[in-house]
A and B are shown apart, each in its own frame.
Chain A
Amino acid sequence: MGWEVVFVAQMMLLITPELCTGCRLCEGACSFHHYRVIQPSRSRITVVKFEDRGLDVPVTCLQCDDAPCVAACPTSALWKDEESGLVVYEAERCIGCKSCITACPFGGVGWDAETNSILKCDWCGGDPQCARICPTGAIKWVRADQADDTKRRMVALRMQEVAQNLMAPKRAGV
């Protein structure tokens, strides 16, 4: 698959679980991009839900630098593209051994029963639809070397909110 976007720097999907409301729009948009239908079971990103605790965590491929799936793949169907940072999946080479699913420490690789191939994030060719549709910023498409800054800013905003709450009684003259 060809790249639609030329990167100036490596990008990444920055996931902030505490911002996730569990709406699963990312799953819908992912399946829509790849199959033109809405089918969360074939999404390459999954919101893991713990409803009884009010916890939602979007899980997808993290495109590791030293990727266990790449190391585990016996046919080089998975390989790291050093320039973009993407772990590329070539279905033609895949023998369906599922070693990558076993090897991935995060559950970032899934199995598609409809096509007998793996489900792995491909960044939608450079414009990840999960980040595009995410309504809360829980999934952001950012430069990898600036991800920490994005994170800092989000935390700082929350600190400002905390500070305002602390100030509130004083402002009200209490």
Chain B
Amino acid sequence: MRFPYKGYAGKILRVDLTSGKIREVNTPKEWARKYLGGDGMAARLLWEEVGPGVNPLGPDNKLIVATGPVTGTIWHTSGRVVAVSKSPLTGIWGEAHSGGHFGPEIKYAGYDMIVVEGASSKPVYLSIYDGKVEIRDASHLWGKDTYETTEMIREELGDPAVQVASIGQAGENLVKYAAIITNYHDAFGRTGMGAVMGSKRLKAIAVRGFGAVEVAHPDEFYEFALEGHRRVLESDQAMELRRFGTPMLVAVKQAIGELPTKNHWVGVFDRYHSIDAETLREKYWVATKSCFGCSTACKKKHLVRAGEFAGTFTGGPEYEAVFAFGSSAMCDNLPAILRLNLLCNKYGVDVISAGKTMSFVMELFEKGILTKDDTGGFELRWGDYHAMLEALDMIVFRKGFGDLMAEGVRAMAQRIGRGAEKYAMHVKGLEISGQDGRAHRSAGLTHAVSARGADHMRSLVTVDQLAYWDTARERFGEDKVEGVVNGYSEAYKGLAVKMHEDAYAVRDSLIVCWYTVGWPPIFWMDDFARLAYLVTGEEAFKDVREMWVIGERINNLKRAFNVRLGITRRDDTLPERFTKEPMPAGPAKGQVVNLDVMLDEYYTLRGWDLKTGLPTREKLVELGLEDVAAELERLGKLPRSERPPEGEGGVGEAG
């Protein structure tokens, strides 16, 4: 049977590495209708198949690589793809998105998703080539970095256009924040997806497809796609992003006092100019690149031409790497940051978690909580980039103290004790990205409530931070605009985060990029509704209200996945640094985050229980998630105050 919607391939590839079985199953039509694709469909699959007892690094965990209906079309930024699994770093919902050309190739190969389960007894890689799917030996690739792996697989398959998603040594050694790297420069960065691959002894997934992506309304779609590209090309900010890439945020964030410095102690870095986009462009830029289907072209290639790190050629760094290895670690040596970025790509490591782990250790040394006696003689001090390079090597190969650093800051703090937790910048075990709720209140709430932990990609509101008055007025109305746009006020931040979280869930399921949706604000829900309709042909998608429901449904499902694992309001928190230590300097001096006010508003708008943060039966049923409500009830994970409706038959009070 042909899949009723266009845009999708209509098939899911399922690979069991324990048995070596490979099979194709149909993409459930209902999933497309209720969850769109990408993040949403993967959430449904993970909810159904990865129960609370599953060890993230055990054979029962599943690695889902998912595309959306828009993936591989010529819509602006249609090159995105998401990896979803239970995270070995956080123990909860894990997801990481990648750009590049890997996602579209999966679609051309005829699949909406690839689901890998089980574990192989020896190193293997998965090859999907022109309809032929094979589990191939990877003994000769084990121990190689992602660059070598990509080259060797392309050579082996005799086709340099094969798209390769691989792990480096970090994934093999189960570094908890190991990344999956696609074609040298793009990454499924966060939540340790690389370690999940490593635990399955899956070195790489190599894909080459020769098929087509169809759209339901070709002519209208084509014109809409061209209009979309035009809107991007006419945006000054998008073109500035093309010129400088995401590191342009270094100067922007310095100006508003939100450039996390000294392990998020303060939001200004006096030597920021040494690591900002102007310096990067002037001294190291060599080429501007883009992911599949993208008019923005924010990707940069940089080369260090002279000095200690001469010869370093790297894709990126993105802003997050510059902040994590730069200001957060008090390091102003840009070539060293480029070197660290390159090595993270080669070893397959999440730059944010790696940088934040290093700055955590630096602060522990400063505070005297750690000494050389604890680390076997290794010392990490602010800005010491030689030691940082050594630390990265120790982490990846789990050498000495690196074995502990490879576990992430939450686990380190638990092991070290002595008050170290105070300096561990994480939420739910995920190291905090390059924002600071004290200077940008909605970012604080975003970090606190995001499904994968201290995340900036799932609900970061930029219209407040960068004062987009017109956009804010459109989205929130005249009466709320002043409150929303004030980054130092908690006002309406629950509303703003909830709205953006739902919109971004749609974005992550279509899938399109953060950039030109999150920032600069070019595409929004009306565009998504039109796009989803034109691509898939589903009439119901035309209605923007349906898009909002889908977004909300996906977020409730992800929440339910976490709730099933024990997450409650207690976990929706921030390190004390943000809630108790007033910002010591810069434009946001004196600011702290009043998280509870924002949480109350957020839960209220979500229709979740205020006290526990648990989704209510009413809300889940409203969203068509009856089975999810029933499962949570069975586990006693619905709010206590809620009584089951009459006639449900004697289950009694849950919890």
How long is the Cα–Cα vector from A10 to B521 in the complex, in angstroms? 41
Among A22, A38, A113, which residue has its beta carbon within 8 angstroms of that of B212? A38
Contacts of B209 in A (CB 8 A): 41
A24 within 8 A of partner (CB): yes
**Considering the chains assembled together, what is the distance between the CA atoms of A42 and B108 in angstroms?**
11
- CB <8 Å contact, A38 and B213: yes
B233 touches A135 (CB 8 A): yes
Q: What chain A residues lie within 8 Å of B292 (beta carbons)? A: 23-24
- Taking the closest CB of chain B, its distance from the CB of A35, in whole angstroms, is 7
Are A22 and B295 within 8 A (Cβ)? no
In the complex, identify which listed stretch (A46-54, A67-75, A149-157) lies at the interface while the others stay far away: A46-54
Bitwise, B129-147 to A at CB < 8 A (1) or not (0) is: 0000000000000000001
Nearest-Cβ distance from residue A156 to partner chain B, whole angstroms:
19
Q: Say yes or no: is A85 at the interface (Cβ < 8 Å to chain B).
A: no
Q: Are A39 and B297 in contact (CB under 8 A)?
A: no
A133-B229, A136-B297 in contact; A24/B101 too (CB < 8 A)?
Answer: yes
CB distance from A1 to the nearest CB of B (A): 20
Q: A23-B293, A24-B292, A25-B293 are in contact. Are A38 and B226 (CB under 8 A)?
A: no
| 9-residue interface stretch from A26-34, A88-96, A101-109, A118-126 | A26-34
CB pair A25–B72 under 8 Å, yes or no, is: no
Kindly identify which residue among A21, A32, A49 contacts B74, using a CB–CB cutoff of 8 Å.
A32
* Contact between chains at B294 and A39 (CB < 8 Å): no
Contact B74–A51 (Cβ < 8 Å): no
A170 to chain B, nearest CB (A): 15
CB pair B293–A28 under 8 Å, yes or no, is yes
Taking CB as reference atom, which chain B residue is nearest A24?
B292
Q: Out of B147, B151, B212, which one reaches A35, CB within 8 Å?
A: B212
Say whether, besides A38-B74, A135-B232, A23 and B291 are in contact (CB < 8 Å). Answer: yes
Contact with B along A123-138 (1 / 0, CB 8 A): 0000000001101100
A36 interfacial contact with B, CB 8 Å: yes
User: Does the CB pair B74–A165 fall under 8 Å?
Assistant: no
Question: B157 contacts the other chain (Cβ, under 8 Å)?
Answer: no
A114 to B154, CA, bound (A): 24
Q: What residues of chain B lie closer than 8 Å to A56, measured between beta carbons? A: 289
Once A21-B297, A24-B292 are accepted as A-B contacts, the answer to whether A113 and B218 lie under 8 Å apart by CB is no
What's the least CB distance linking B226 to chain A, in Å?
7
Whether B319 is near chain A, meaning CB under 8 Å from some CB there, is no
Cβ A39 vs Cβ B293 within 8 A: no
Cβ contact within 8 Å between B212 and A54: no
A-side contacts of B160, CB under 8 Å:
49
> Can you name the residue of chain B whose Cβ is closest to the Cβ of A165?
B282
Which among B151, B226, B282, B301 is the interface contact of A54 at CB below 8 angstroms?
A: B301
Nearest CB of A to B80, in Å: 13
- The reply to whether A52 and B212 contact each other, CB–CB distance below 8 Å, is no
The yes or no answer to B16 lying at the interface (CB within 8 A) is no
Contact B291 A39 (CB under 8 A): no
Q: Which residues on the A side are within 8 Å of B584 (C-beta)?
A: none
Partner of B288, one of A21, A28, A31, A38: A21
On whether the beta carbons of B290 and A39 are closer than 8 Å, the reply is no
Instruction: Report the nearest A residue to B219, measured CB to CB.
Output: A36
Min Cβ gap A54→B in Å is 4
Closest approach, in angstroms, between the C-beta of B44 and any C-beta of chain A?
A: 26
B161 interface contact, C-beta 8 A? yes
Most buried by A among B185, B209, B292, B301: B292
Q: How many B residues, CB 8 Å from partner?
A: 43
Binary per-residue interface labels of chain B (283-324) against chain A in the complex, 1 for a CB within 8 Å, 0 otherwise: 000111111111101010100000000000101000000000
Measured CB to CB, the closest approach of chain A to B497, in angstroms, equals: 32
The yes or no answer to B468 lying at the interface (CB within 8 A) is no
With contacts A29-B74, A38-B74 known, is A54 near B297, CB below 8 A? no
> Taking the nearest CB of chain B, how far is it from the CB of A141, in angstroms?
15
The yes or no answer to A97 lying at the interface (CB within 8 A) is: no
Give the chain A neighbours of B233 by CB distance below 8 A. Answer: 135
Which A residue's beta carbon lies closest to that of B314? A54
Question: Which B residues are in CB contact (< 8 Å) with A132?
Answer: 226
| B155 vs chain A, min Cβ distance (A) | 13
The answer to whether B289 and A21 have CB atoms under 8 Å apart is: yes
- A51-B108 in contact (CB<8A): no
**CB-based contact B183/A39 at 8 Å:** no
What residue of chain B has the Cβ atom nearest to residue A37's Cβ?
Answer: B212
Quote the shortest CB–CB distance from A24 to chain B (angstroms).
Answer: 6
| A-side contacts of B218, CB under 8 Å | 32, 36-37
B101 neighbours in A (Cβ, 8 Å): 24
Interface centre among B73, B160, B287 (most CB of A within 10 A): B287
Chain B contacts for A36, CB-based, 8 A: 218
- What are the interface flags for B100-131 relative to A under an 8 Å C-beta threshold, 1 for contact and 0 otherwise? 01001000100000000000000000000000
Q: When the two chains form their complex, are residues A54 and B229 in contact, meaning their CB atoms are under 8 A apart?
A: no
Q: Known contacts A38-B72, A38-B74, A133-B229: does B214 contact A23 (CB below 8 Å)? A: no
Closest to A52 in B: B184
Query: For B185, what are the chain A residues with a Cβ–Cβ distance below 8 Å?
Result: 51
Interface mask (B147-172 → A, CB under 8 Å = 1, otherwise 0): 10001000000001100000000000
B3 at the interface (CB under 8 A from A): no
Tell me the chain B residues, 175-197 only, with Cβ under 8 Å from chain A: 183-185
- Interface pair A41/B210, CB less than 8 Å apart: yes
Indicate which residue in B213, B222, B226, B299 contacts A39 across the interface (CB closer than 8 Å): B213
Q: Which residue of B lies closest to A168 (CB)?
A: B282
- 22 A-B pairs with CB atoms under 8 Å apart are A21-B290, A21-B297, A22-B290, A23-B79, A23-B297, A24-B292, A25-B293, A25-B295, A35-B212, A37-B214, A37-B215, A38-B215, A39-B108, A39-B210, A51-B183, A51-B184, A52-B147, A54-B287, A54-B289, A133-B229, A135-B232, A135-B295
Q: A23-B79, A36-B218, A135-B297 are in contact. List 12 more A-B contacts (CB 8 A).
A: A24-B101, A25-B295, A32-B222, A37-B214, A37-B218, A41-B108, A41-B210, A49-B160, A52-B147, A54-B287, A54-B289, A135-B295
The 3 closest A-B pairs by CB, nearest first: A39-B212, A54-B301, A135-B295
